[in-house]
Structure 1
């Protein structure tokens, strides 16, 4: 499974890279703040929303601690979608957050 450290993802954002960031947390978790530009697709919704993922794009998966997003990353990869898990999740994120 591909992984990225939170500070590496933050650097990509600061450099202006166009990233596809998917937050798989639940509503009450994202209410505390999300990475700017991220979209929320709850982990349990991913199988039903698989058609929303473009196989020509790369996705960075986020959750609270990195466990759920790791499962999401593995699921996407098994379905031919390029994905990377952010290790440590939002607990390790030290950069800007926005409220949904």
Structure 2
């Protein structure tokens, strides 16, 4: 292998590593809550389930609104900027992405999410019939 090929491989691996870190790391502006911490304060906030409608209909946190991550850009105006936002998804990855979008495109300050997502939720849920 020549030096040019080694440099290209290094850049590719570095780029992939950076993208994985960006997708999986919790940003500093996002507060991560355990289920019990989430439950303590979520009644004073907007609870947004960023999963797809079929996931939401299968069971969601009582009082949560469904704004899927795939529709978030088009529906940003539905989320108030003067109230805390509590986000969750199935595992936590999509809610981190939603928080990044809300911070960057809509200027939200009080952003929180459920650590490890709905799969760790042990509180009340509602299911659509």
Structure whose residues are more often helix by fraction:
2
Q: Distance in 2 between matches of 1:18 and 1:44?
A: 26
Higher relative contact order (CA 8 A, sep 6+): 1
RMSD between aligned residues: 1.4
- Deviation of 1:18 after TM superposition, in Å, equals 2.4
The aligned residue for residue 122 of structure 2 is: 94
- Deviation of 1:19 after TM superposition, in Å, equals 2.1
Structure 2: stretches of 5+ with no match in the other structure: 1-29
- Could you tell me whether the CA contact under 8 Å between 1:6 and 1:88 is conserved in 2? no
Say yes or no: does 1:11 pair with 2:22.
no
The aligned residue for residue 51 of structure 1 is: 77
Give 1:53-92 correspondences, 5 Å limit.
53-79=79-105, 80-82=107-109, 83-92=111-120
- Deviation of 1:97 after TM superposition, in Å, equals 0.3
- Could you tell me whether the CA contact under 8 Å between 2:95 and 2:113 is conserved in 1? yes
Q: Distance in 1 between matches of 2:86 and 2:114?
A: 7
Q: Distance in 2 between matches of 1:91 and 1:37?
A: 17
Aligned length: 97
1:22 counterpart SS class: strand
Structure 1 length as normaliser, TM-score?
0.87
Q: Deviations over 1:17-67 (max 9, x none)?
A: 322100010122112211010000010111111111221111100100010
